[in-house]
Structure formats: C-alpha cells, structure tokens
Amino acid sequence: MIPNGYLNFEDESFLDSTVAKMNALRKNGQFCDVRLQVCGHELMAHRAVLACCSPYLFEIFNSDTDSQGVFHVKLDDLNPEAVEILLNYAYTAQLKADKELVKDVYSASKKLKMDRVKQICGDYLLSKMDSQSCITYRNFASCMRDGRLLEKIDSYIQEHLLEVSEQDDFLKLPRLKLEVVLEDNASLPSNGKLYSKVIGWVQRSIWENGEHLESLMEEVQTLYYSADHKLLDGNLVDGQTEVFGNDDHIQFVKKKPLRENDHRQMSNSSSGSLSPSAAMQLCKQEWKYIASEKTTNNTYLCLAVLNGVLSVIFLHGRNSPQSSPSSTPCLLKSMSFEVQLEELEEKLLSPMQYARSGLGTSELNGKLIAAGGYNREECLRTVECYDPKNDCWTFTAPMRTPRARFQMAVLMGQLYVMGGSNGHSDELSCGETYDPNADDWIQVPELRTNRCNAGVCSLNNKLYIVGGSDPYGQKGLKNCDAFDPVAKSWTNCAPLNIRRHQAAVCELNNFMYAIGGAEAWNCLNTVERYNPENNTWTLITPMNVARRGAGVAIYEGKLFVVGGFDGSRALSCVEMYDPGNNEWKMLGSMTSARSNAGVAVLGRLILAVGGFDGNEFLNTIEVYNPETNEWSPFAKTFNFN
C-alpha cells in the first residue's frame, strides 16, 4: 500500500531470516570481531550484537573505542556451555538450556548483566523447588546475592519448615543450641520477637566480645530472659550488658551507654580480616530470621542467617536447672505438632516475613500491602501482601528503591509511594507506582525537593504529598504538592498552617486531613483540613493525645488514628474523629504499642501491622473490631469474609 504517496511495506519474514543468518555467521566465525575466551574455549561473536544484549560487555567495548581489531575478552569463571547458550539467546531471542545447566546460565547472565535471562533462570529454579531442594537453592541464591530469589525461597521455607526440617540438607546445617533461663513470671515472646533478640545476642557476642560464630556453636549457650523483656548472657545477669530502645533506634549497652553507631565498630582482632565497613555490610545483608516453629511448650526451632551462615537455632526455655533437657530438642512430626500447638495456645495472626517500622501500607483489591520500612536499622525495598482469607503473607515485586518513613496511597487502582529515606541519605525525591496487573514498579516524576516523613493520600484523582522533614531533619515543612497522573506533573498547593513531619494524612468526604506529627521535636495534637475547592487549610478540633508517626484509617465515615510516639514513648492508644460533630473520642487500645506502624481497613476490620514498640521492631499484626471496640492478635477472633 502507498498511503499519502509514501511507500510502506513490512516484511514479516525478514527479521527471522536475518537473525538466523547472523547466528550462522557467528558459528562459522565469519565477520566476527570478538573472541570470548572461556576456560580454555574460544567463542566467536560480533561486537555490536553482544553490546546490545550485555551491559557488561558494552562497558568493556565502550572503554576502548579506538580499537579496530578483534576484541579478546576472558571469562575464566564461567561455564563455556552456559556462555554458548547466552550467545544463541543474543542472536535468536530463544533461551534453551538443559535443567542441569540452568544454574550455570544464571551465573553467566549475572556476570554479563543480562538481567532478563537471570530472572527467567531464577523463576525456572523456583518452579522446580521443593522441600528437598530449597536449602540447596537458598545457598545458591545467597552466593549470587539475589535478593528476589532469597525472598521467595525464604517465604517457601517459612510455609514448609516442618517438611524442610526433615531433609538431609537441613540436618547438615550448623546448629546453635540455646537454653534460656526465665525470670520469675517471665514468658518467652512470640517467635519473631524471640529470634530478633537471639540474633541481636549473637551479633553482640561477635562484635563486642570478639567471639567467633563457630565457638558459639560448639556447646550449649545459656542466656537469661528477664521480666522486662531483655535477653542477657547467662553470666551477665547483673545487668552489665543489656538492650534498650528509644523510638526507632536500638542500641546495645555494655557497662556504659554507647554512641549510636559504636556497637558496629570492631577491631580486626575481633572480626578476622573484616574492616568496620565490611562488618556494616554484613550487618545489613547477612543477618536474618527466616522461619521458626514451636515444638513443645517452651522449645523452639528456628532457621536463620547468622553472619552470612545459614544456621539452625534450637532454643529451650526453663525456669530452673532441673527442667533443662538432656539433649538438643528434636522437631516433632507435623501431626503431633499441630495438635499440641492447638492445645497450648490460640493461633496468632501470621506475622510478616520482615519486621518493619516506618513502612507504607494500603488496602488493594481486598488485601493489605506492606512495603519498605526499617528492619533493625536496615532500609527495605521488599513488599509483602497479606491475604486475610488465608491468613498468609506473600511477596510481590520489590520497590526499585529501598525506602522508609513514607506513606502509601492508592490512586486509580495503582499504589503510589513518594520520598522517604533510603537509609543512606536523609530524604528521597524519587517516587514509584505499582501496577498489580503487571506486578511491577515504575518510576514517576520526582518531587521538586527531597522529602522524608511526608504524608501522602489521593484526592479527586490526584496524589497529594503533605509536610515532611527539611533537608537537615530539624523541623517540619509546610509544603503541599499535588501530582496529576495523567499530565505526570507536580503543582504547588496552599501550605499548611503549621509545620509538620510524621503527620498522618488521609482523605475523608472530599477533604484531606493532616493529623498530628511534629513541628520540630515537639509532638502535635493539632489537626488541619484541606478543601480542594478553595485551596485552603483550616484548623479543626485537636486530638486528645499529641502524637507523631501514627497510623490512620477511614471506616464508615469516621477517622481512626492509631498508635504513634508522644515524644517519650511509643503509644498503644487509639482515638476516633467524627466529622459530623467535630469531636475526638478515645477507643480501645492496641495490645502492643506501635510507632510508625502501618494501618489499613480490610472489610469491616482495621488492621495495624509492624512498627516499633519502644524495644523492638515488629512484624506482628493485630485487628480492631469496631463492633466490640477491641483489638486482638488472634486469628480465630475475626472473620474477614
């Protein structure tokens, strides 16, 4: 056809024919200008083709633009068969590999920065994973430092720990055996809380006391759990070593208070050849609680990563030496465990995989989305999804940027996050949006200024970001900006009457509310309401309790403010605002204090998840029933259907 006088023709067979011919030229060594030397094998290829599919090779080729001859690239740490498979893919877009070669293809694609191939290989490995192979796959993912694979494997292990624990690979893992002496009237906390304390004790033993992980595993270790929820060395029960927390920071104290980062400093004599900076990397990447099970009334089993080592932790709590077990406790079989657990206690709502404070949460398609946040001073990019009908958490695609101290909003069926902190700088200007249909995050236009601790909500098909911290984190901001997702542009709105950071922000009846927060360091109980029709903020009746870092939810036309921090302690109290009479009313308190937690409404229930209770970062969840004015962490208390 020749529309408007222009010839327009598309040869549908040309591309396939050209690709096949180019690959044939490669295999015959014709017109090739690259020689890949892989473990004694030489593979020929064309520079332009490889540069298009491998950023790693592109950087090599681009660094020597004056070269007119044949490029020689050595890849001695890769499997030649795997590299040949990648070359075929580069020329034909077809990835064909025997199952025995998939790991080698993954390793080669990682080296060559061929991310799409790496993801496909990772997904294939996940599809073949079962209880017998998951430990092997996890070790591989750890060596590859693939956070996405690790998250999915760890989620599988958490759901199938009983089956996994019966496999040979599990039984061969290093074992840490602990006996915990309980102070009178003390009881062990839930699994997640308990093992975060255990991991903290192992870290202190290595960093502060100069011990080696191997030596800790050589014999049973005795610890002491006090009534005020401190886990101490058995020989230090006089209080020489303890853990204390304040707002979102945990510090370890030995004889005298340490400065904020002193507990991370260690000499070469106490850490082998690790430098302090390398030790910090280990702290952020190589310490992790994966899953645990309660096997008897006071006996637990846990799988965790300790200083980069996948390890099994056996823990037995006792009130006196006479109740100590004679040997390391063994895991009970599935059936007896389920019966015993049902008899011993009510089933708690399933916790998140990661403890999170300063996270973003929202309801999306009947499920709770929890993204980012701090986890023991590490900033997360992982995203977990809670299905209330099945009481289970699963991972969705992680955010592109680690971030905490931000809020999340739903706009036109998609999740939006803006600003926050990435753990390395005080504030971020970048934002991203999540499409649940594609299970992917994409970037959105950046804010005009970096902003942390800002409130976010949707109103009239626009995304609003309100307040936040100044570049030095010393005082709140009055700034208010609106994002138009169609025009993909930001505009200024009227400023707040009062500077606010860590304010709770929400939409109700076509108004936007900015609730509490802090002006500088002083927490606020004041509340402002924004009218988009005349672009004005108006102060309304203040809350009963000043608080920053509170969660907020809208239920049946009323505004619920949950937890937060009052300047001296994390809060469990909750209050409700009725716009009809412009009044605040105190409601039933949560079972746990929560600062910087996530709050959302699912069905006829309000959920609070994560946060910081003044001592620990939390991965737990609890639910409020407006009909009974009560909070509970137990699954059987609620019906989400």
Kindly give the interhelix angle for 115-128 and 102-111, rounded to the nearest 10 degrees: 150
Whether the pLDDT of residue 261 is over 80: the answer is no
pLDDT, position 254: 32
- Residues linked to residue 52 through DSSP beta bridges, in sequence order: none
pLDDT, position 242: 38
In 519-553, which positions are buried (b, 16+ CB within 10 angstroms) versus exposed (e)?
Answer: beeebbbbbbbbebeeeebeeeeebebbbbbbbbb
Give the 3-state secondary structure of residue 635: helix
User: What is the rounded end-to-end Cα distance, in angstroms, of the chain?
Assistant: 58
**Mean pLDDT, residues 211-230:** 79
Choose between 166 and 280: higher pLDDT.
166
pLDDT, position 213: 83
pLDDT, position 241: 37
The sign of the dihedral angle between the CA atoms of 83, 85, 86, 91 is: positive
What would the two tokens of residue 462 be? 């626009």
The strands making up 414-418's β-sheet, listed across from edge to edge, are: 408-411, 414-418, 431-435, 440-444
Residue 317: its H or E element:
strand 309-318
What would the two tokens of residue 466 be? 């309100």
Kindly give the interhelix angle for 134-144 and 102-111, rounded to the nearest 10 degrees: 20
- Where do runs of H (alpha helix) occur along 332-473? 334-344
The amino acid at residue 484 is D
Q: Is 124 left (phi over 0), alpha (psi -120 to 50) or beta?
A: alpha
pLDDT, position 343: 38
pLDDT, position 530: 97
E strands within 156-298?
175-182, 221-225, 231-233, 241-246, 249-254, 288-296
Indicate the range of 64-73, 218-227, 235-244, 264-273 predicted with least confidence. Answer: 264-273
pLDDT, position 195: 81
List Cβ neighbours of 623 (8 Å cut-off, separation of 6 or more). 349, 605, 606, 607, 608, 631, 632, 633, 637, 638
**Mean pLDDT, residues 617-641:** 84
What band does 471 get if pLDDT is binned at 50, 70 and 90?
A: low
Write out pLDDT tens, residues 495-531. 999 999 999 999 999 999 999 999 977 899 999 999 9
pLDDT, position 235: 53
What band does 282 get if pLDDT is binned at 50, 70 and 90?
A: very low
Residue 20: its H or E element:
helix 14-28
pLDDT, position 639: 66
- Residues linked to residue 562 through DSSP beta bridges, in sequence order: 551, 574
Choose between 603 and 13: higher pLDDT.
603
pLDDT, position 255: 30
- Its pTM stands at 0.51
In 27-65, which positions are buried (b, 16+ CB within 10 angstroms) versus exposed (e)?
Answer: beeeebbbebebeeeebbbbbebbbebbebbbebbeeee
pLDDT, position 482: 95
Write out pLDDT tens, residues 133-162. 999 999 999 888 888 899 899 999 988 988
| Residue 245 DSSP label | E
| Residue 257 DSSP label | P
Q: Is 105 left (phi over 0), alpha (psi -120 to 50) or beta?
A: alpha
What band does 424 get if pLDDT is binned at 50, 70 and 90?
A: low
Give the 3-state secondary structure of residue 217: coil
Q: Is 423 left (phi over 0), alpha (psi -120 to 50) or beta?
A: left
**Whole-angstrom Cα distance, residue 398 to residue 155?**
14
pLDDT, position 457: 95
pLDDT, position 61: 83
Q: Which residue has the tokens 């412009």?
A: 582
**Mean pLDDT, residues 621-634:** 92
Write out pLDDT tens, residues 106-119. 999 999 999 999 99
**Mean pLDDT, residues 376-390:** 87
**Residues, the chain, total?**
641
What band does 238 get if pLDDT is binned at 50, 70 and 90?
A: very low
**Mean pLDDT, residues 533-548:** 96
Whether the pLDDT of residue 212 is over 90: the answer is no
**Do the beta carbons of residue 468 and residue 445 sit within 8 Å?**
no
pLDDT, position 592: 92
Share of the chain above pLDDT 70, in %: 81
Write out pLDDT tens, residues 295-337. 766 778 889 998 888 999 888 877 644 444 444 444 433 333 3
**Mean pLDDT, residues 278-303:** 68
Highest mean pLDDT among 23-37, 376-390, 491-505: 491-505
**Do the beta carbons of residue 423 and residue 405 sit within 8 Å?**
no
Side-chain-side CA neighbours of residue 461 (13 Å): 4
What band does 68 get if pLDDT is binned at 50, 70 and 90?
A: low
Q: DSSP assignment of 584-634, as one string?
A: EEEEPPPSS--BS-EEEEETTEEEEE--B-SS-B---EEEEETTTTEEE-B
pLDDT, position 638: 66
What band does 622 get if pLDDT is binned at 50, 70 and 90?
A: very high
Give the 3-state secondary structure of residue 151: helix
Average pLDDT, the chain: 82
pLDDT, position 93: 87
pLDDT, position 116: 92
Highest mean pLDDT among 14-28, 70-84, 399-413: 399-413
Share of the chain above pLDDT 90, in %: 46
What would the two tokens of residue 423 be? 């753990």
What pairing do the DSSP bridges indicate for beta strands 231-233 and 221-225?
A: antiparallel
In 487-502, which positions are buried (b, 16+ CB within 10 angstroms) versus exposed (e)?
Answer: eeebeebeebebbbbb
**Whole-angstrom Cα distance, residue 605 to residue 626?**
7
pLDDT, position 426: 59
Residue 53: its H or E element:
helix 47-53
**Residue 626 neighbours by CB distance under 10 Å:** 17
pLDDT, position 253: 33
What would the two tokens of residue 64 be? 């020597």
